[in-house]
Amino acid sequence: MRILEALSKNAIIEDLKAKDKKGILEELVSPLVQTTGIDQDSLVKVLIERERLGSTGIGGGVGIPHGKLTGLQSIALGFGLSRSGVDFESMDGKPTHIFFLLLTPENSTGLHLKLLARISRLLKKGPFKERLLQALDRNEIYRAISEEDEDF
């Protein structure tokens, strides 16, 4: 599955304002409330519970908060960029700037893992990360993801 099959332009936030982990999660799920039909508190709760198992800040300025939800009908994907960076309890202890948020239905473990792996592989590419960081708006972010995801 390609990333843009699950990520809509409306779920891209080009300038996250939050300064802490909980705030980032709240901001990232905000555009997904309407598309998922699940309230913001429930979405954030699932992500915070997952974070308690270990941070999804994978290092290199990247965070991939994710979780599985009962009642979710299809995959929900979001993207956010924190220009100033946030302490996301990343493995390398450095600020996190690039966030992909992944929510999947409870029973879709295989697809959940495949998308996590795909996102992780894309974000290991330095030029792609730099392009995301330099993007001025959601259209540039969407285009960068689209072009990189096609080449993969």
Catalytic residues: 66
Cα–Cα dist 32/104, whole Å:
12
Cα–Cα dist 121/117, whole Å:
6
Cα–Cα dist 98/54, whole Å:
18
Beta carbons of 66 and 102 less than 8 angstroms apart: yes
